Amino acid sequence: MKQILLGCAAALALSLAVPLAAQADDPAAQNAAVAHAARVRADADLARTQQATKAAISDSAHSQQAAVTASADSQKTAISHSADVRTHRIATVSKRRQHAIALAAQARKDRIARQAAAEKKAQDLVARKVTSTPHLGILGGSNGGLLMGVEFTEHPEMWGAVVIQVPLLDMLSYEHLSAGASWVGEYGSVSVPAERAFLASISPYNQLKPDVKYPVPLIFTTTKDDRVGPVHARKFAAKMEEFHEPFFYDEITEGGHGAGADNRQEARTRAEYFTYLMMKIMN
């Protein structure tokens, strides 16, 4: 049996070797085989290239989709954050404004209370015959100068003398004069109707009327007042002059928001105050 199998294998090898030998001797067959192998390799390369291209296109599409999704999410987050910031800012501004309005309202109440207290004390002095109106004088500066202006215009019959120092007097324009814009929280703003009405009611410059018997005031200011400024006093004096009302006016060059730049100047200014008061209420 073993010999029969070996014999069959030898016959098969011989049958295969003859065509291969014949093919090796045929150049045309060799060329055809080479061309066929080249086509096979080319087809395989093309298939691999097409597959790689499809994979790259698929990856690119996925990447683009992921980028678009990430960009959309980022935009949504940015828009949401911006909206939250705006809402917070609006709420903060609203709270600050409400707080400022509350402070201004309280300041108005306090100012009215102080004015009422001063008037009550003056009336008590007259009622108890400690003094009389012609011998009663008042003096105040800055915010106190505003109080002097209010008393001067609202109750001119109560005072024999009024010293108005470095004052606030035009309360409808104060926001635009010197440092006035920084006091809106205290006095209120003309841009708010209710606050404008209050400011108009206490503005000595606007409440000054012709044909009213006012006491003769002493109005004092300084050219270099960098807080209130000299404009309030100048306008008030000019209006009194327009109404042909008598008054004393003194404006020194130095001194800032006070009585003078040094002790000598302050002493001179205070001497002027007391000279005026002696002349008006002690004569």
Residue with tokens 């055809």: 32
**Could you tell me how many residues make up the chain?**
283
Q: Are 231 and 177 in contact (CB under 8 A)?
A: yes
Half-sphere exposure of 54 (CA within 13 A, CB side): 6
Helix (H, G, I), strand (E, B) or coil at 10: helix
The tokens describing 173, both together, are: 């324009």
Q: DSSP letter at 226?
A: S
Question: Burial, 217: exposed, middle or buried (Cβ in 10 Å; 0-12, 13-18, 19+)?
Answer: buried
Residues identified as active-site:
142, 257
- In sequence order, what are the residues at sequence separation of 6 or more whose Cβ sits closer than 8 angstroms to the Cβ of residue 281? 134, 135, 136, 137, 160, 161
Q: Where are the beta strands (DSSP E) in 151-216?
A: 161-165
The tokens describing 168, both together, are: 């606030």
Q: Are 143 and 114 in contact (CB under 8 A)?
A: no
